[in-house]
Amino acid sequence: MKRIGLLGGMSWESSVEYERIINQEVRSRLGGVHSADLIVRSYDFAEIEKLQERGAWDEAGDLLAADAASLEAAGAEVILLCTNTMHTVAASIEAAITVPFLHLADATAEAVLAAGVSKVALLGTRYTMEQDFYRSRLERHGLLVLVPEEPDRTMIHDVIFSELVRGVITEDSRDRYLAAIDRLLDRGAEGVIAGCTEIELLVSSGDLECPYFPTTRLHALAAVDFAL
């Protein structure tokens, strides 16, 4: 089994999900009391959020790149970044390591295509929905990507930062997310990407009648595939 390095704690609610899914999947595949070989770098998310708000992406990239290199030095044989938004600095991380970096958008795109979906809705933080770094990666795989219109983008972003990263889950926010998803389906989306790991805490596949792509699970399973 290869050792997996996780850049997590953005927020810790999402990286705990990564650890849970990876460990459960390893036990399911290998049986007995097997669990994953993990190294985790967890952050004070308040510090990461400040960098995001200031648009200090180069500084954030330097931080994550240095920590990815530290994970490799500690024996990690593959690196995962446990957040969609911070994949905006993926290139900095990849340049700092010699082991594989499993890009979350690649794992997601493969699952979308395998489901026969070509036009997909993307939910996430404002950075993920409005910047090009994530959509363009999906589009390289031949996907057509739709993002919510305003005011849905603001609502989705605000719920993530004011509720989900704090562990707050409400029926009202779930209803508002589902309404925003319905508007995307009306625009022709054939499936929905939960492009923020915390969204999976609020919306599940059972809430929808279309294909749903929870990026945390897809990314975590890709890591297990690699490790085993």
118 and 97, same structural domain? no
Confidence of residue 165 (pLDDT cuts 50, 70, 90): confident
Q: Region 68-91: what's the mean pLDDT? A: 96
CATH number assigned to the domain comprising residue 139? 3.40.50.1860
Mean pLDDT score of the chain, rounded to an integer?
95
Is pLDDT at 198 greater than 90 in this prediction? no
Q: Which of 82, 88, 108, 196 does the annotation list as catalytic?
A: 196
- Can 82 be counted among the known catalytic residues? no
Reduced 3-state DSSP string for 37-85 = CEEEEECCHHHHHHHHHHCCHHHHHHHHHHHHHHHHHCCCCEEEECCCH
Is pLDDT at 15 greater than 90 in this prediction? no
What pTM does this model have?
A: 0.90
User: What pLDDT was estimated at residue 42?
Assistant: 93
- Can 83 be counted among the known catalytic residues? yes
Is pLDDT at 222 greater than 90 in this prediction? yes
Which residue type does 59 have? Answer: E
208 and 133, same structural domain? yes
User: What pLDDT was estimated at residue 9?
Assistant: 78
Q: Which of 82, 83, 125, 215 does the annotation list as catalytic?
A: 83
Q: Region 146-163: what's the mean pLDDT? A: 96
111 and 94, same structural domain? no
Whether the CB-CB separation of 108 and 138 falls below 8 Å is answered with yes
* Domains of the chain: total: 2
For 71, the domain range is 4-103+217-227
40 and 9, same structural domain? yes
SS3 content of the chain, % helix, strand, coil (to 5): 60, 15, 30
